[in-house]
Structure 1
Amino acid sequence: VKEITRDIKQLDHAKRHLTTSITTLNHLHMLAGGVDSLEAMTRRRQYGEVANLLQGVMNVLEHFHKYMGIPQIRQLSERVKAAQTELGQQILADFEEAFPSQGTKRPGGPSNVLRDACLVANILDPRIKQEIIKKFIKQHLSEYLVLFQENQDVAWLDKIDRRYAWIKRQLVDYEEKYGRMFPREWCMAERIAVEFCHVTRAELAKIMRTRAKEIEVKLLLFAIQRTTNFEGFLAKRFSGCTLTDGTLPKKPKAPDNPFHGIVSKCFEPHLYVYIESQDKNLGELIDRFVADFKAQGPPKPNTDEGGAVLPSCADLFVYYKKCMVQCSQLSTGEPMIALTTIFQKYLREYAWKILSGNLPKTTTSSGGLTISSLLKEKEGSEVAKFTLEELCLICNILSTAEYCLATTQQLEEKLKEKVDVSLIERINLTGEMDTFSTVISSSIQLLVQDLDAACDPALTAMSK
């Protein structure tokens, strides 16, 4: 049995070796013929055929890695590498000729040769593909850099629309002329748009640094609005697949729009103009509240409603909400912290000027109202009772302070939701809440004092 099986094993080994030899010889024949054809097609720029053949040759060459010690195989491998290098250089030269980076702009039309060359570039070293993309985009945006130079009138923020109109026209032009030339997976239209954004962001940052004194809040907000609209347009048209790490500023809360901030981030260093404007507006708002209170006087007593909240309080927080939402759309970084500081300033001013400042004055010393001070005051002189209007005013201020306290707490929570995670700890409105708590305490003490004064005659009569 062993002798019989031994013969069978020998036959099996012989068959396997023979099959391997035949396969290897076939591969060698294919490789040798493929290399010859590859070199000939490269010279004739038959890129369509080259794309199909090159991939096949490279696949066949993989079978010969273990035979690289054989001079003939090594020579074929070197010829393949040389052909790849020559192809890469030749394709780059063809693109340079069609889309010259210097000299007179002479854009080539859609070319089948270049389209097939892109298919070859997909197989070659990735650097070839990157170089083609880089050259094409640079040539495509060369006109933009000339039209919107820093010294040009159209470069300033008031004409920012023209920048975005220009790139939209270019994208349409690209799709019409070159849409079919580049493989779809290269996402060339998106790459052009992204590079435009990078260039625009750098150019705008540079011109705003130079002309910082000319930036007004209306102009800044106009430019930001147009820019964010453009970023929204990009999000609708493109997927953002070409955006790599570092393309966009890192944001802990990733927006739905992958292009958010790709241009508009350049406005952030200048948002102090917006913050200063809000500071001024809020100062004027508080002054108007004070003037209105003086002109209209305290609210009229209404026993049905009790202590109503002052209308100015609601107006203030509505304005705060508007500012917070607007600023969070512009930036969730340091400008939000600056805005929070402004909010704190005017919450305190509201508490002092509108609430504490309008509480009825008493004969009590400024040290505050306590039971002992009330007793001393009773012993020394008769405590002045408040009129109905004054009591109503105290109740109004008390209700308003309670409303402000609750709303300030909500404001703090909302600000923490809007701001970057790394800055949450810097938002703290506890001091302002304490200020409103003090107003509440003072109002209650005044009411207690009045009640005590009202009860005093009756209590005195009872004691007699």
Structure 2
Amino acid sequence: MNDYSIDDYADVDLPPELLKALSESNDQSDPLEQADFDVVEYINDMFPDEGSLKDADARLSAVEAEISELDKEIDCGIRRHAQRVVDGDAEKALERATDGMKELHSKIESIHARAAESESLVQSVSGDVAALDVAKRHITATVTALKRLVMLVSATEQLTAFASDKRYAQCHPLVLAVVELSEMFEPLRPQLPQVDELLNHKDRLLEDLKAECLEDIEGKLFTPGYDGDNKIDVKAACETAAAIGKEVKDDVISMYCMRLLKEYQKLFSFPDGQYSTLEDCERRFGWLSRTLRKYNSEHREYFPSEWRVDKQLCLHYCHLTRQHLVDILAAATAGPEQTEDPSLLFQLAVKNIEMENDLDKRYSRGEGDVSFKGIVSNCFEPYLSIWVNHEQSLLCAQVDEAAAKEDPEIMGSKRGSVPVPSEAPPAAVDGPQTEPVFVYKSVVELFTKMKKLFKSCKSVSTSNTMFLLCVKSFRVALDRYNDKVLSSRVRASASDEQIYAVAGSCIYITQTLPLLAGSISDTIDEPLKSQINFAKQMEEAADVEAQAIEQASTRAADQCIRRITQFVKDDQKPWTAADTADVNAVTSRAHRSLTGNLREAAQGLTEPQYSSVAEGAMAKIIEDYCTLLFTGIKEPVDSTDRVEILVTLTGGLQTLLLESPVEGASAATENTSQAMQAYSAVTCRRMQLPQAVLRALSVQQSGEDSMRVEIIQTLCANREDTPTKEAIDEALHIALSMQHGGGLSGRISRDGSSSMGSVGASSGPASTREDMGPMTAGQFGSVFTTAWGNIRNQVDAARAVHGQPSGQSGRQSSETQGPVGTSTTSSSGGAGGSVALGVVDDGESGDVAAKMQQMFKNLGEQWKTKFVANTNP
């Protein structure tokens, strides 16, 4: 069953006659056969309400059955009609159709044959037309070429006539035409002799015209009376020359410029010129200015503006001047003695650069224009080393002059008094004061001179000359200043203010030099940036600053400890007669001395420098005080009064070491608690050393002298990690318990190594004063520290023999074992080592105990020999 839709018939328009016939023939009672059938109305009539929808399926089935019936009727009708048409003879109809198709095929083949004949005819006709078209194009090209040839011949003849009469205004368009037409015939020159002859004639004509233009332009502009009849038009002649070709235009410009520079060459060429020296360079600039004015007033109107003859004149001038200067400079520096003034050489380089910049600004306006920069000035670069050497010698002379002054001028004022002068370095506003208080005026002048030289050098060169002057020469000057001015004044034991100025000048160098180096690095050419390095000069300044700080520390410490030394070594009055008042008076005088010196240091140094001075003075005082306890007291401390006096003196020393730096710093700054907090902690830690020394000296047991010496001197090796009192007492006790072994003599060298042989053997007596030489306390401490490590190695070896581990039974971590046979003691190597040896008893390693006992004895003898002899000449 076919499916139908109302849309299938929506666009069908039936003829009115058909509609009328249908309305007349069909049953009027069937709504489907009505001519004005309306589907919507028909459905609404079929289903008037919702209740009627229940019959929708039945009605749909009825409609579909009716449609199927109609299809069958239509099919039958068509078949009956077809049968009537063929009258029942279908085979005849098929034969007729076949015959018709054959006839149609034959007609088509006939048409194809006639079409092929027509195509052949068309191709024949078209070939003739194409040949005619090619012939037409050839004829047209020939006619055009003949016309152009005629035009070329005619233009050549006219140009010849006008050129002979010097009528350049008429020659200009003819030259343009001849040049353009001749380019068209250039490909024909090898094939056609006549064309070749014509073009050769054209070339000779233009060459003659070029020569005439050059001659007439030169004669008209530079030869008075050359054109008496005023027939020559110079501007038209220039245009004609430009029409001939660009090279002819360049020849005209070069001819004009060289004619103007002929006088310049005569006046300034080396060596025959009237003004052929460097001193006459100002005249060169004046000549160029006059020549440009002459050109603008007399000749500018003759030349086309696009030629820019004035720029070309300046370029020719620059190149010629460069050659002159190269000859002059080469001759001046060829001999063993350089005859040219270095300052003049530099000034000329600067002036030529200024001239180049002015010309470049005036004439190099567009992209692709030739720049004037460097044309002349670059010739000075190889010879500016003369100026560099001269300036270096001036810098060195300035340094020597500063070094020769016995009382050099110092800039600045004390901190806490008046503001620093404006010419001195500015003070910091936040944080610790790090700007120098006192500086030598000479160092400020030196850097001012170097900055001026850098600025001057920047104006003439940013390449090798800048590197030679601003790096190498500056290094030489700074090295010389560090050595001859700063270091020499520290070595010469100058006044306190001079020492402060040295320290401040070193800070000024370390603060200012990096800024100057940064400016140089930003300016110098890229390949040389990596070679800018002033690390050596910075390091030298820092070393000199450290020497100055050490000098200031030593002075403050010496004046303080001198008063205590006088009291301790006073042989006129027995120690028992001294009372607490005497000790207080001594410490009070030492306190005032140290406070005064530190106050001066605080006002003359920066805060970090002052802290270093205070710590250095404290360390020196404590070290000298410990040495004083050994060398100044020649009898045992066997009375309670003397012990109390030394204890009181040590306590007073600690008090003044804690208070004096704070009081001194208060004169220069308001807030000193934070700055001196670290100092106080270090002072308290280091004061444990003299307290330990005093306790060791007060032990009243026989045979302890050598052990006191080695214990205390071991402590002196590193004062920042002083062993406790308990460690010292235990070390003394252990050493005493080891005095019952066999005998052994050890020869101790300066490096602490022992010449001991096998266990129990003797290698000779202890070192004497003659083969050891004078030995300071610090040297003796180093000797003992190394010797002590050797002894501990033997203890470890003894333990290994008896099967006892080397790290058991209370050994402290006081050393770091190195390679086989060596060890490096830590800061508590002396006392800590003694404590560690307590695990070795007499029963297990008596030989080791004997070695220890003999070593203590030898060390004590050396100490007494050296220091007692040095204190009793």
Does TM, scored on the shorter chain, surpass 0.5? yes
1:190 matched to 2:311? The reply is yes
Letter of the 1:85 partner, please give it: E
Q: Decide which of 153, 160, 166 is 1:45's aligned counterpart.
A: 166
What is residue 342 of structure 1 aligned with on the other side? 473
Q: 1:3-26, CA deviations, whole angstroms, 9 ceiling, x for partnerless residues? A: 457446556545544543443333
Letter of the 1:351 partner, please give it: N
Secondary structure class of the residue paired with 1:330: coil
Q: 1:137-164, CA deviations, whole angstroms, 9 ceiling, x for partnerless residues? A: 2221222233346566644444432221
1:113 matched to 2:233? The reply is yes
1:84 matched to 2:206? The reply is yes
Task: Report if aligned partners of 1:307, 1:398 keep a CA contact under 8 Å in 2.
Answer: no
**Residue 395 of structure 1: how far off its partner (Å):** 6.4
- In structure 2, the CA distance between the partners of 1:329 and 1:66, relative to structure 1 (3 Å rule), is closer
Q: Decide which of 142, 146, 161 is 2:262's aligned counterpart.
A: 142
**Residue 420 of structure 1: how far off its partner (Å):** 4.0
What is residue 631 of structure 2 aligned with on the other side? none
Q: Decide which of 31, 54, 72 is 2:175's aligned counterpart.
A: 54
**Residue 349 of structure 1: how far off its partner (Å):** 2.0
Structure 1 segment 205-284 matched on structure 2, within 5 A: 205-210=326-331, 215-239=340-364, 258-284=371-397
Question: What is the TM-score with the length of structure 1 in the denominator?
Answer: 0.75
**Residue 218 of structure 1: how far off its partner (Å):** 4.4
Q: 1:342-400, CA deviations, whole angstroms, 9 ceiling, x for partnerless residues? A: 211111122223433334789xxxxxxxxxxxxxxxxxxxxxxxx9x84x876664454
- In structure 2, the CA distance between the partners of 1:111 and 1:430, relative to structure 1 (3 Å rule), is farther
Letter of the 1:409 partner, please give it: P
1:286 matched to 2:399? The reply is yes
For 2:690 and 2:528, locate their aligned partners in 1 and report how far apart those are by CA, in whole Å.
Answer: 63
Letter of the 2:616 partner, please give it: Q
What is residue 436 of structure 1 aligned with on the other side? 541
Secondary structure class of the residue paired with 1:63: helix
What is residue 328 of structure 1 aligned with on the other side? 458
What is residue 510 of structure 2 aligned with on the other side? 405
What is residue 34 of structure 1 aligned with on the other side? 155
Secondary structure class of the residue paired with 2:302: coil
Identity score, percent: 23
User: Can you give the 5+ residue segments of structure 1 that lack an aligned partner in the other structure?
Assistant: 246-257, 363-386
- In structure 2, the CA distance between the partners of 1:155 and 1:241, relative to structure 1 (3 Å rule), is farther
Task: Report if aligned partners of 2:503, 2:549 keep a CA contact under 8 Å in 1.
Answer: yes
**Residue 195 of structure 1: how far off its partner (Å):** 1.8
Letter of the 2:211 partner, please give it: Q
Task: Report if aligned partners of 2:166, 2:231 keep a CA contact under 8 Å in 1.
Answer: no
Q: Which moved more, 1:3-12 or 1:342-351?
A: 3-12
**Residue 53 of structure 1: how far off its partner (Å):** 1.9
Which structure dedicates a bigger proportion of its chain to helix?
A: 1
What is residue 299 of structure 2 aligned with on the other side? 178
Q: Decide which of 440, 444, 447 is 1:317's aligned counterpart.
A: 447
Q: Which moved more, 1:126-135 or 1:186-195?
A: 126-135
| Greater RCO structure (CA 8 Å; 6+ sep) | 1
Equivalenced residues, count: 422
- In structure 2, the CA distance between the partners of 1:59 and 1:199, relative to structure 1 (3 Å rule), is closer
**Residue 186 of structure 1: how far off its partner (Å):** 2.7
**Residue 177 of structure 1: how far off its partner (Å):** 1.7
Question: What is the TM-score with the length of structure 2 in the denominator?
Answer: 0.43
Letter of the 1:77 partner, please give it: L
For 1:293 and 1:244, locate their aligned partners in 2 and report how far apart those are by CA, in whole Å.
Answer: 61
**Residue 176 of structure 1: how far off its partner (Å):** 1.9
Secondary structure class of the residue paired with 1:180: helix
Letter of the 2:202 partner, please give it: V
For 1:159 and 1:196, locate their aligned partners in 2 and report how far apart those are by CA, in whole Å.
Answer: 16
What is residue 145 of structure 2 aligned with on the other side? 24
- In structure 2, the CA distance between the partners of 1:222 and 1:80, relative to structure 1 (3 Å rule), is same
Letter of the 2:619 partner, please give it: D
For 1:10 and 1:4, locate their aligned partners in 2 and report how far apart those are by CA, in whole Å.
Answer: 14
What is residue 70 of structure 1 aligned with on the other side? 192
RMSD of aligned alpha carbons: 3.9
What is residue 775 of structure 2 aligned with on the other side? none
Task: Report if aligned partners of 1:299, 1:393 keep a CA contact under 8 Å in 2.
Answer: no
1:358 matched to 2:493? The reply is no
For 1:260 and 1:40, locate their aligned partners in 2 and report how far apart those are by CA, in whole Å.
Answer: 48
Task: Report if aligned partners of 1:360, 1:394 keep a CA contact under 8 Å in 2.
Answer: no
**Residue 171 of structure 1: how far off its partner (Å):** 0.9
**Residue 441 of structure 1: how far off its partner (Å):** 4.6
Q: 1:70-110, CA deviations, whole angstroms, 9 ceiling, x for partnerless residues? A: 3433333333223222222333343454467xxxx659689
Structure 1 segment 381-396 matched on structure 2, within 5 A: 390=496
Task: Report if aligned partners of 1:99, 1:107 keep a CA contact under 8 Å in 2.
Answer: no
